[in-house]
Each structure stands twice: as C-alpha cells, then as structure tokens.
Structure 1
Amino acid sequence: MSYREGYYFKKTGYSQKSVLGVDLAKHSLEELKNLWRKTLNEGLHGICFSMYEDGQRPGDDISMEQVERRVKILKPYVGAIRSFSCVEGNEFVPMMAKKHGINTLVGAWLGDDKEDNEKEIEGLIKLAREGFVDVAAVGNEVLYRNDLSLEELVQYISRVKEALSGMDIPVGYVDAYYEFSRHPILVESTDVVLANLYPYWEGCPIEYALGHMQAMYGQVVDAAQGKPIIITETGWPSQGGGLRGAIAGEEAAMKYFIDTMRWTKENDIPIFYFSSFDESWKVGPEGEVGAYWGLWDKYENLKYS
C-alpha cells in the first residue's frame, strides 16, 4: 500500500469508535500536562505550519533557514506538515519537510488579487512538478471570506488538476466544514475533501467540544460523496479570552488536543492540528485569542512542559 492510500485517506464508510473525552475534574493540572505530553510524544498525523516570528507577518519574506529550524523542531512529532502559501518563503516549507522525510499538504493562498493568485497557482504547480507535494490545496477559506466567486474558485481548482494530471497528486480545496454541503460542486471538482472544524469558533463549551467536532465531521462525510476526507484544521487557544461558551485556557487547550488525538487515531481520521507555534501577528485579525493556538509558544518552546 502506498503512503498516499494508507496515510492520508480512509475510504471506508462512516462509523465511529466511541471515544470519551478527558474529565478535567478527575485530573490535577500536573496529571493533565503529563497526559498532554504523552499524547504529543505518541505522534501526530500532521500539523499546520506557523511561519512567523515576533515582528513578522504575511507579506514578509521568510528565510529558508528559519523555516528549516522550525521544521526540525516539529520533525520528532509529526508525519506531515501543511503549508498555506507558495510565495514569500512559504515555498521552503514543503522543500524542508521533504528534506527531513516529512510528508506535505501544500496550499496555494487565493484572495481577491488576481496577480497574487497567479503567483500562488504557478508556485503550487512548480512545487508539485519538483516532487514536494503529496496533496495540493487550491485555496483556504476563500468562500468563507468571500474573496472569490464559486465559479472563479472552481476554475482555479480545475486548472491545477489539469496541470497535475497523471502525477498521482490529489487536489482539494480547504474551507469550513459546512461549505461542502452548501456547494456540492466543491466535492465534485476535487479528489479529496479538506475541511476545517472549529468548535471554539462556534462558541461551544470545552466539555461539549469533542461531540460537536464529531458532528461537524459527520456533516462532511454526508457531503463528501464517498471521497476521502482530511481534517485540515482544528484546535483550541491557550489564552486570549473567549467566544460565548468557548473559553480559551491552558486546561481547555490540553483537553481538546488530547481528545482530538484520541478520537482521530481510534477512527483512523487524518488530521492537521492547528497550530504549531503561537504567532503574534494574528492578534489583529482574530482578536487577542488569535495569537495563542500553537502547541509551542512564540519563542519555539513547547507549552505545558
């Protein structure tokens, strides 16, 4: 069995093994930290790559050396790394991942600037032809942000699929889980369904978050028409406030990570956890909470150790 069949894709019907979440009332903080570290040390299918140090943000050119340093930090824990762009140093992410024996899900960032989109699409095709791409993602939450029309997005997806024809590289599109129910053409136009699942951003209290994520995943299964599914993002912030019943915090972040890893491993669901490192630049777009989604802090130190 090839890596792509065995590692990324689960092609069987939808059925879940029951997984109980961690009961925070039954664990001391130190016990929870030990369980979190044990879970991390057992390894992740994949993780979303955080590019930017303090003082950096999208638009800055990031060096290959910085990317490789961070890839090497992640290497002992992950089988695959997801990148979000193919320009401004982001192209080094799949290059360095492959150098260190890590698989890749490589994204082209699409927005409302057509010239920038051209650079991203050409960059993704180039990386794929050079052997750095295991799965190609054409756009991330484009419909969620209303940056492109559905028709424009599908044209980009079709263009990449045609360019990579015969290369055995699955092509997908990343968005919030419900977009695939709303727009069946997204499923029809892709090889793999790439879904983001965030109970936090729907205001779900941590004690119900695992069940809510499972329900989200079930909706994706219903929409996927039998095609393979990858959870491309899910996570919980370690500080920064809250959204209705969802409260950021260390205990909640550890519980969510442990519960998510147990459930996806028990059910053989491929997942890219969000995220690797805290990034200060996200305070603006997402509020204070945006800067605290990493398993490592912004200084590249592992949290909760």
Structure 2
Amino acid sequence: MSSKAEKLLSLAGVSFEGASFETLKELYGKVLDFGMHGIGFSPYTEGQKPGDIISAEQIRRRLEIIRPYTSWVRSFSCTDGNELIPKIAKEYGLKTLVGAWLGKDDKINQLEIENLIKISNEGYVDIAAVGNEVMYREDLTEGELLTFMQKVKSAIKGIPVGYVDAYYEFEDYPKIAEACDIILANCYPYWEGCHIDYSLLYMKEMYNRAKLAAKGKPVVISETGWPSQGTSLGAAMPSDENFIKYFINSQKWSKEENIEIFYFSSFDESWKVGAEGDVGAYWGLWDKEEKLKY
C-alpha cells in the first residue's frame, strides 16, 4: 500500500467520538479527494425525472464534475439519452457499469436490452447489468428476467453480465445468482433502520451474505449510501453528520479490504421523493445545484 493510502486510512481511522462537525467535514474532504472506486451517476437536473430526455451537454457537464473523484460510473438505463452516458464516460477515461432498466412495459424493456447490447458491442461497457431491483419490485418473474439475461449474454462477449438487486434477493433466487457472471448487490443499512454506529458492521454482513450466494463469483456493492436530510427510519437518522460518517467508513473499508463499492449517489435529485419519501432527494455527494455539500 502506498504511503498516501496509509496516511488516508490512518486519518479515516480516527474516532468520531467528540469530533466537531468542522473536523468531520475536513476529514470527509480528504477521503473524497483520495477517490472512490465508483459512483452512481445521477443525470437528472432540477425539474427532470425518468422518462424525460437527457442531453449530451448535461451528461458531459456532470461527468466533468465527478471524474476527478472516481474510477467508475454506473448508469441505470439505456434509453431517453441515458445511452449516451457510457460513451461520454469513456471519453473521460472512466470505466462503466451500464444498466438496462427493466419494468412492466415489455416494449421499453426490449429497447433497453437492444441498446445495452449495442453499446456493449461498440466497446463502451465494462460491466453489463440486466435490470435493477426487478425482483424486489416484482416487475418481472424470475423466468422473464433470466430470459433477458441470457439474451444479453448470448449477444455480447468478453464483458461480465450481472443483475442488480438487494443482497438478500440473491439468496432467495439462486438461479439468478447462477446466471450472473458477477453479483451486483445493493447494501443499505439505512433502509433497514440501522443506527449509524452499527451501519458499517451491518453492511459487511450484507456483503458477506451476497458472497455466500455468489459461490465464488465476484461481488460488487452496486449501491450504498446514507441520506443527509429527511425522516428517520427506525434507528437510522438522516443528517449531515451521519452522511459524512457513513461515507468515510464505507470508503475506509473499501480501501482496506479492496471492496468494490459504487457509492449512491453523485447528485441530489428532487424527483426521487415520490418513491422513497422525503429522504429520496438527499443521497448525493453534490446537491441539486451541482455543488459539493461539504
């Protein structure tokens, strides 16, 4: 490990107990500057939502903001302009986890899959994700998802193909885990009401459960994060302080144990309040005006 990395981990290992908010912000900035493995890319600007067309200009502007801080970006869809994200990311030297968003509309699903295959075969995809939490939402049956996965695996070569869902869904659907080249597990202690003090320990447990379900296949944490504002869920309290603590702990663990984490997310997005309640709008490292929060 480099001396720079050792210094970072030493800083990150400082106890939070008694630390002022200013001290936490200073440490957060140092950890962020050191860089993340990956980040979930938030393309929608204020007033936009999924289904709206996003432009190359806004993608480029936001990628320019985040690229000094990450090696990978994750996109969630291959339609409505989202299909431009991987190509532009490659221009900036970023690696890409590219998702096809699958839901209840088969026409849209087919277009998502066709575009994912096309983008992959053009060389813009490093990991292909066929669907995101469709088993959790019950949008598709297991058989329908497996059919889409097989279609993609048959059409692209040399690119690992996986599926994104909550870590426990890979325990519940072993055939899906078996079909994956790589397990893409969402791990959110917040959404399970975990107190911030135990959140890293719980995320490690989530990750280890996904590893057991993977049976030797690589496991990536495709999403994790903590909201900076909003209503508490059980013992999980959104706050600026807890947001910072969770980010520091997750990045320290990622560096120490070479855990591949895609942090969620890059920018705050107001549209997310509908599905997730008031906390939905406050997961970004940057605010909705594209300014770093801390």
Fold in common (TM above 0.5): yes
For residue 143 of structure 2, what is the aligned residue in structure 1? 151
Q: Which residue of 2 aligns with 1:79?
A: 71
Please say if residues 241 and 248 of structure 1, whose CA atoms lie closer than 8 Å, have aligned partners that are also in contact: yes
| 2:68 aligned counterpart, secondary structure | coil
Write out per-residue CA displacement over residues 42-87 of structure 1, whole angstroms, 9 at most, x where no aligned residue: 0000000001111100010010000000000011000000000000
Pairs aligned (count): 285
Question: Residue 188 in 1 paired to residue 178 in 2?
Answer: yes
AA matched with 2:19: H
Aligned position for 1:48: 40
Match of 2:286 among 282, 286, 296: 296
Match of 2:60, SS state, is helix
Q: Deviations over 1:107-132 (max 9, x none)?
A: 00000110000010001001001110
Two-structure CA RMSD over aligned residues (Å): 1.4
Aligned equivalent of 1:162, options 142, 148, 154: 154
SS at match of 2:64: helix
8 Å CA contact 1:142–1:148 kept in 2: the answer is yes
Q: 1:242 to 1:213 in 2, by over 3 A?
A: same
Alignment-derived partner of residue 206 in structure 1? 196
For 1:256, the equivalent position in structure 2 comes to 246
Q: CA deviation at 1:92?
A: 1.3
Q: Distance in 2 between matches of 1:69 and 1:22?
A: 35
Equivalent AA in structure 2 for residue 287 of structure 1: G
Structure 1: gaps spanning 5 or more residues: 1-19
Cα drift, residue 23 of structure 1: 3.8
State the alpha-carbon separation in 1 of the partners of residues 14 and 49 from structure 2: 35
- Name the counterpart of 1:4: none
Q: AA paired with 2:276?
A: E
Q: TM-score, normalised by structure 1?
A: 0.92
* Equivalent residue letter for 2:70: V
What letter is aligned with 1:102?
A: L
Quote the offset at 1:134 in angstroms: 0.3
Superposition deviation, residue 22 in structure 1: 5.9
- Tell me the CA shift for residue 21 of structure 1: 6.6
Instruction: Tell me the percent identity.
Output: 58
SS at the partner of 2:285?
coil
Are the aligned partners of 1:106 and 1:137 in contact in 2 as well (CA < 8 Å)?
yes
Q: Match for 1:239 among 221, 229, 249?
A: 229
**Aligned residue number for residue 227 of structure 1:** 217
- SS for the counterpart of 1:246 is coil
* 2:124 maps to amino acid: F
Counterparts of 1:38 and 1:93, CA distance in 2: 28
Report the CA distance between 1:172 and its aligned residue: 0.1
1:176 aligned partner: 166
Listed as ranges, the matches of 1:82-97 within 5 Å are 82-97=74-89
* Pairwise CA distance, 1:25: 2.4
User: 1: distance between equivalents of 2:219 and 2:153?
Assistant: 18
Could you tell me which residue of structure 1 aligns to residue 5 of structure 2?
A: none
Distance 1:22-1:274 versus aligned 2 partners, 3 A rule: farther
- 1:141 paired with 2:133, answer yes
Higher relative contact order structure (alpha carbons within 8 Å, sequence separation ≥ 6): 1
Partner Cα distance (1:283, 1:191) in 2: 33
Which of the numbers 58, 66, 75 marks the counterpart of 1:66? 58
CA distance in 1, matches of 2:285, 2:164: 22
Distance 1:243 1:22, change over 3 A: farther
Q: Which has the higher helix share?
A: 2
| Counterpart for residue 272 of structure 1 | 262
Q: 4+ residue stretches of structure 1 with deviation over 4 A?
A: none
- The reply on whether 1:124 has 2:94 as its aligned counterpart is no
